[in-house]
Amino acid sequence: MTVRHFLTLQDLTPAELKQIMHRGIELKAMQKAGEIFEPLKNQTLAMIFEKSSTRTRISFETGMTQLGGHALFLSSRDTQLGRGEPIEDSARVISSMVDGIMIRTFGHEIVTTFAQHSSVPIINALTDDFHPCQLLADMQTYQEHRGSIQGKTVTWVGDGNNMCHSYINAATQYDFNLRIACPEGYDPNMELVNAHKDRVEIVRNTLEAAENSDLIVTDVWASMGQEEEQKLREKAFASYQVNQQVMQQADKEALFMHCLPAHRGEEVTAEVIDAKDSVVWDEAENRLHAQKALLEFLMAQK
């Protein structure tokens, strides 16, 4: 059987993504009902972290426990990867002993190289270019609160970063329209935008981009690895903040999402993130349920 990886949303078909979303909702209900479900008994997920994490580590580690398996936390600080062991060699060795590998790293080519040399599924838990696991949780959260996202309008406000790129992929995979409000110089990858141009447009004005939107999403102005650009970015993004005025432009049923961690007073005001249309806490919790569905899909014996 060929090994399936999850490096971007495009590694799964729209039908598979829908199946995982509904399974995530089901697994959440089972968990809340106290049902024990252990399809990954005796399986191990290696979790390689080259960047910090709260949600991703906790959700994958807890998810593996709940599915009856084990998760192994590997920081680049104390493995040979951090001392320069080639990715190809690391992939061969690690995959010979575990059943799945989750990686959070910098360059996207690191996860693609890993996948080429791994005998087990590789899951992208965030690279500089994509964060597909977050989208599984976001799409499940929208479905739970408002039903199908198909045909809806989503507005991305802020940096054309890894999260924005995954929203571009999601626009095609989940069939919604995406408006991206970002300052010039901070555009997403234009090749990716063009590949999805029937569903994605760049709108420079935040208020215009938010008009009648069904979902407003933002993320930090400076991502991990860009800390030294913080001051410069605060200036560039000043008019790309999700505040009450932006939310008022959107549909009255519009939801607000943020992958977290958030900086109140920068990309979002406290008033918006702590309001009732903000579903950020469900969104964070759904990382657990959505990724359990992903782990089951990729790793459980069929």
The answer to whether 219 is a known catalytic residue is yes
Written as six digits, the tokens of 124 are 């992208």
Which single residue brings its beta carbon nearest to ligand NVA? 223
User: 153 or 162: whose CB is closer to ligand CP?
Assistant: 162
The span of 61-69, 156-164, 195-203, 238-246 binding ligand NVA (CB under 6 A) equals 156-164
Type of residue numbered 134? Q
Active site residue 55: no
Distance, CA of 280 to CA of 268 (rounded, Å) = 12
Q: How far is the CB of 114 from ligand CP (least distance, A)?
A: 19
Residue closer to ligand CP (CB basis): 153 or 273: 273
Task: Establish whether 134 is a catalytic residue.
Answer: yes
Binding mask 186-215 for ligand NVA (x = CB under 6 A): ------------------------------
Which of 97, 95, 118, 99 lies closest to 39, judged by CA? 99
Q: How many residues bind ligand NVA (CB under 6 A)?
A: 9
- Catalytic member of 11, 129, 214, 219: 219
Residue 87 near residue 114, CB atoms below 8 Å = yes
**Options 13, 16, 22, 54; binder of ligand CP; rule CB under 6 A:** 54
Q: Total binding residues for ligand CP by CB under 6 A?
A: 8
User: CA–CA separation, 86 vs 108, rounded Å?
Assistant: 16
Report 235-274 residues binding ligand NVA (CB under 6 A).
Answer: 259
Contact of residue 163 among ligand NVA, ligand CP, none (CB under 5-8 Å per partner type):
ligand NVA
DSSP state of 8: S
Q: Measured between alpha carbons, how far is 54 from 12 in angstroms, rounded to an integer?
A: 26
- Antiparallel, parallel or unpaired: β 100-104 and 215-218: unpaired
Inter-residue contact 9 to 17 (CB < 8 Å)? yes
Q: Of 134, 140, 173, 291, which one is the catalytic site residue?
A: 134
Q: Which two tokens stand for residue 151?
A: 């045909």
CA distance 218 to 267: 7
Run of H or E residues at 190: helix 190-195
Interaction partner, residue 241 (ligand NVA, ligand CP, none; CB < 5-8 Å by kind):
none
Binding site for ligand CP (CB under 6 A): 53-56, 126, 134, 259-260
Binding site for ligand NVA (CB under 6 A): 126, 161-163, 219-220, 223-224, 259
